[in-house]
Structure formats: C-alpha cells, structure tokens
Amino acid sequence: MTFEQIRALITSRMVDFTGIDQTRIDYPNQKEVFTTPATGLWCRLNIQHATAFMAGMADRPHTRKPGQISIQCFARVRTGIKAINELADALEAHFAYWQAGDLECMEASQVVAGEFEDFYQINVNIRFRAG
C-alpha cells in the first residue's frame, strides 16, 4: 500500500464524518486557504507516518507502514468542554477499529493539549497500520 493510498483512505473517512460541518475541518495542504471559524468548534486532520518495516517475505518483501491519525479539535476558551468532548468521542467512534482494504485503524486516545491563543484543544489520536 502506498502512502498516497493511505492518505486517500484516511481523508475519505474524514470526509464521511458527519459530526462537524466539512467547512470546519482543515485538511493537509488543501487548495483553499482554511479560515478559522469565528465561533464554534473546528478540527485539523494530520497523518503522521512512522518507520515502515519488513513484515514478511514471499515472492517479494512485504512492508508494513504504521502511523497515527491525529485530529486536533478546537473550541474557543471559556465556552466549556462538553461540546469538544462530544466531538472527540464521535471522532473516536468513527475511526477506532475501522478498516478499509489493507489499512487498519486501532484504538483511539484523547490527549488534552489545553489552552493556547484563545483556543482549548483536544487531540484525538488513532494508531493505524497499512500493508
């Protein structure tokens, strides 16, 4: 499985997510400039690849490509954490243990990043492996 195939599958899965309007999701290196919404929640999708490794040998070497999907979720400070927690929970339910072809997502974790520049942030991290 190629890195482009991995990106396409993960991005497609994020596009299928109905827990937040698609205009509120910042995708990697998209053609249009993303404008942070003035109110409400928004997200940023990141795909972080780890070191690939040889997983087997048959007629040719078989490579496994692990990594992590990291979805940064943002809320304005002083707006409470219920809505952002519910968004993070919905993203976890949408991605955890999902599989498409040779791409397999595993468990999801939520990491509170806290407050920075008028936003409260929670990261939803989902490990994956491909190949």
- What is the domain-level CATH number for residue 61? 3.30.2000.20
Q: Grade residue 60 by pLDDT with cuts at 50, 70 and 90.
A: confident
**DSSP type of residue 98:** -
pTM for the full predicted model: 0.92
Residues 6+ positions from 62 with CB-CB distance below 8 Å: 54, 55, 56, 131
**Structure confidence at residue 59 (pLDDT):** 83
Mean pLDDT of 1-23: 97
Q: How many domains does the chain have?
A: 1
CA dist., res. 94 & res. 96, Å (int): 6
Range of the domain at 81: 3-130
Higher-pLDDT residue of 66 and 62 is 66
CA dist., res. 102 & res. 130, Å (int): 5
**Structure confidence at residue 27 (pLDDT):** 97
**Structure confidence at residue 65 (pLDDT):** 96
Mean pLDDT of 9-25: 97
CA dist., res. 69 & res. 110, Å (int): 12
